Structure formats: structure tokens, C-alpha cells
Structure 1
Amino acid sequence: MSVTHATFVVERVYPATPERVFNAWADPEFKARWFAGPDDWENSPLSLDFRVGGEESSSGGPKGGPVHTMRGRYQDIVPNERIVSSYEMYMDDQRISVSLATVELTPKGDGTLLTYTEQGAFLDGLDQPKYREEGTAELLDALGAALSSENATA
């Protein structure tokens, strides 16, 4: 039994207003477009109750397993500025980490600077901070692609 504590920060600048970026986290249909595992994974539908105290869950994994599941709760929401959530990650039925995640949105020129900070406890060597940081960066890149796609169709 072991625990590795880690904090990491990932930043992205998006060509969208803070309101649009915030909505990408708050709107279940929009979030489902970018908040998913790799293309070759089987993903379950996203469950999202975006309010303080509300819960979120999603799961997926490569065909044949293992299944990765995220279960979270929103702790603080300041519209268009900040989202704080806590979440657990599971691999099949085993909890592999518990984290506190903060999303901060700051106007930057005609766009938005998103600063994502995660403080995690990674359990029993089943997950590593560097893998979570890489996965988070990929999700934030997918968010950027979804925002760009929305721009192209608007």
C-alpha cells in the first residue's frame, strides 16, 4: 500500500470567450463531445449534474478492458471564472486515485486562458502523475478542437 502525492498545472489558450469555454464544461452535450477516452476506446455516456454538490461520472476503456471510471463532485462554481471539483478514478473496481481539480478561466485578448490545476493522491502504484497530466493535456486539446469545430459551424 502506497500513495504518491503530486500537483500539476496545464494551461491552454482558446480562441473563445470565457463564457463559451465555461459552457463547454457545463453543457452535458457539449462536454460529451470532448470529454472521452481515446478514439479506439469504448465509452459510456457522460452523466453530468453541473451545480455545486452535483455529480459527474464517465467510464470507458479499450475493448476487452480494463474499464476506467471517473466519479466526481462539484465543490465550487463561479460562472465563467472557476470550477472546482473532486474526483476518484477507478480501474475496473479498484480506486487508483483521488484528486482535487481547479479550472480557472481568464480573459486573454480575444480568447481565454484556461489554467487547470490538479492535486492528486495516486494510490498503490496503479496510476502515475505523469500519465494523468498527459491524459489531462489530451482532454484539453480535445476541448480546443471542439471549440474550434463550433467556431467553424457558427
Structure 2
Amino acid sequence: MNTDFQTFDVTREIAARPETVYRTWAEPDLKRRWFAPEVSNGWHAEGYEADLCEGGVERSRFRHDEIGSFQFEARYIQMRAPGRLVYSFTMATAEALLSASLATVCIHAHGAGSMVIYTEQAVFLDGGDRRETRLAGTTDLIAKMAAIAGEVENA
């Protein structure tokens, strides 16, 4: 049994106001566009449901053409518009729990836009996932979120 504790941050400037950035995390239709699109880089969404409020649950099932199927399940601990979201989540396959994490998203005004700082405290279990893979995936997701926030801001 292997237990690997890791923490990482992803920081990104976004050309949208904090209120708009917060909406991209807190409104299910907007969140689905960047977090669970039907197809993205070999990933296929197989289901998405979200009750994005304190105590609410978000679930996503997705599959990658080369590495298989996964389930994401989150519970929202705190949502403070427009500046902070805190949630816990697990990642699993049908066979095993891969990780459990605590994520904090801080959104600050920065010039005409926002600065987002995403911090994840994770425990990766039995070698099924690792920090480098999660960091790369999270960085990609936050870039997609930034693009959606820019679209919403300019609509």
C-alpha cells in the first residue's frame, strides 16, 4: 500500500472580473462547458450532475481513449462569492479509489481582471495517480475555465 501526500498550486491571470470567474465555477451550465465537455483531447464525458452550493455534490464520469474510465465526486464545503470556493473530492476507477483531495479556489481582483489561485492538497493512493499528472490536468482545466470566463465577460 502506497500513500503519497502532495500539495500544489496553479495560479493564473484571467481577463474577466472576479464575479464572472466565480460564475464559471458556481453555475452548473458554465462549469460543465469547461470541466465536463463532451469531447476534449481524447476525454469523453459520460455523465455530469452538479448541485453547486454549500453541502452540494458534483459528480462526473469520463473516459479517456487510452487510459480508461474515471469518476469524480466532490462535496462543496464553502462557497463565498466572488472570492472563494472550498471543496473535497475523490477520483476513482471502477476498481479503485485513486485519490482524495481538498481544493481551495481563491479569486482576487487583479487589474481589469482576476487572479485565480487554485490549491490542492491530495493523497494519491497505491500509485493509481500522481502529482505530475494531476497538476497537468488541473492546469489544462483552469486554462479552459479562463477561456469560458472571457467569453462570458465579453458576451
Which interval holds the TM-score relative to the shorter structure? Answer: over 0.9
Matching of residue 23 in structure 1 with residue 23 in structure 2: yes
TM-score by length of 1: 0.93
1:43-74, CA deviations, whole angstroms, 9 ceiling, x for partnerless residues? 12321111111000101112486211100100
Q: How does 1:2-151 map to 2 (within 5 A)?
A: 2-36=2-36, 38-63=40-65, 66-151=68-153
CA contact (8 A) 1:49 1:55 kept: yes
Which range moves more in the overlay, 36-45 or 94-103?
Answer: 36-45
SS at match of 2:137: helix
TM-score by length of 2: 0.92
CA contact (8 A) 1:16 1:110 kept: yes
User: 2:42, 2:137 → 1: CA distance?
Assistant: 15
1:56-97, CA deviations, whole angstroms, 9 ceiling, x for partnerless residues? 010111248621110010011111010000000002331100
TM-aligned CA distance change 1:65 to 1:134, over 3 Å: closer
Q: CA RMSD in A?
A: 1.5
Segments of structure 1 that go 5 or more residues without pairing to the other structure are none
TM-aligned CA distance change 1:64 to 1:119, over 3 Å: closer
Percent identity, aligned pairs only, is 34
1:95-138, CA deviations, whole angstroms, 9 ceiling, x for partnerless residues? 10000000000000110100000000000011001110110000
Segments of structure 2 that go 5 or more residues without pairing to the other structure are none
User: 2:94, 2:68 → 1: CA distance?
Assistant: 6
Point out 4+ residue stretches in structure 1 off by more than 4 angstroms. none
CA contact (8 A) 2:21 2:146 kept: no
User: 1:125, 1:144 → 2: CA distance?
Assistant: 31
CA contact (8 A) 1:28 1:46 kept: no
What number of residue pairs does the alignment pair up? 153
